[in-house]
Chains A and B, each alone.
Chain A
Amino acid sequence: DAGVIQSPRHEVTEMGQEVTLRCKPISGHNSLFWYRQTMMRGLELLIYFNNNVPIDDSGMPEDRFSAKMPNASFSTLKIQPSEPRDSAVYFCASSTGVKNIQYFGAGTRLSVL
């Protein structure tokens, strides 16, 4: 199994630009999670989907952030417009729901200049 696949691995952009992060969950997993990790705040859940439906987006910091899951094998996290404080590592994770065990992708390191 290829695991959770995220792209790009690194993204450098300028303030005000739109950023789109992508995630392909493990085949057969029906839950998908987006996290953000910073030194200051640690690993925080932004939003999660169950069967492609957003269940809880209470962790999304503000309206500049949006996430979609158009099908079971693809999700995006978009930031528009991006700001320097959005610089972080963004992880995607997926789960079958069995015992709530989540498997993480390699992450996208975002730098907003």
Chain B
Amino acid sequence: QKEVEQNSGPLSVPEGAIASLNCTYSDRGSQSFFWYRQYSGKSPELIMSIYSNGDKEDGRFTAQLNKASQYVSLLIRDSQPSDSATYLCAVIWSGTASKLTFGTGTRLQVTL
């Protein structure tokens, strides 16, 4: 069974700190990886996508992919209370076209 694993949290960080969210996946051949943010009672919204090894930066967000170790991470710099949400890691397994498999999510709390 292919799996996407995340620590459920909550991960608590003070305002202004760096939040580090991690995700591991079981299929070494996977090529497409996504981070979605979901506020309580709302729908998932895409934060970052990453397809190649290394770092990808977008504003305060950096996604890091290491295919050899089968993990993908999301760093949030200068964390704000508005970043408090559940962050979902999603993977498209090799050979499955457009199917996203989601992890169960990590709940982030940014404290004042």
Query: Which A residues form the contact surface with B (CB < 8 A)?
Result: 31, 33, 42-45, 48, 50, 55-56, 91, 95, 97, 99-107
Contact = CB atoms under 8 A, between A and B. Distances in A.
B98 A48 contact: yes
Interface of B: 32, 34, 42-46, 49, 51, 88, 92, 96-105
B100 A45 contact: yes
A48 B97 CA distance: 11
Instruction: Give the most central of B49, B92, B98, B102: most A CB within 10 Å.
Output: B98
- The secondary structure that dominates the A interface is strand
Contacts of A97: 98
Contact of A91 (B44, B92, B96, B101): B44
B49 A101 contact: yes
A33 B100 CA distance: 10
Contacts, number: 49
A99 B34 CA distance: 10
Contacts of B32: 99-100
B44 A43 contact: yes
B90 to A, nearest CB: 8
Nearest to B104: A42
A95 B90 CA distance: 15
Contact of B100 (A102, A106, A107): A102
The 4 closest A-B pairs by CB, nearest first: A104-B43, A43-B102, A42-B104, A104-B44
A100 B97 CA distance: 8
Given A99-B32, A104-B44, A48 B105 contact: no
A95 B49 CA distance: 14
21 contacts: A42-B103, A42-B104, A42-B105, A44-B102, A45-B100, A48-B98, A55-B97, A56-B96, A56-B97, A91-B44, A95-B98, A99-B32, A99-B49, A100-B32, A100-B34, A100-B92, A101-B46, A101-B49, A102-B46, A102-B98, A106-B43
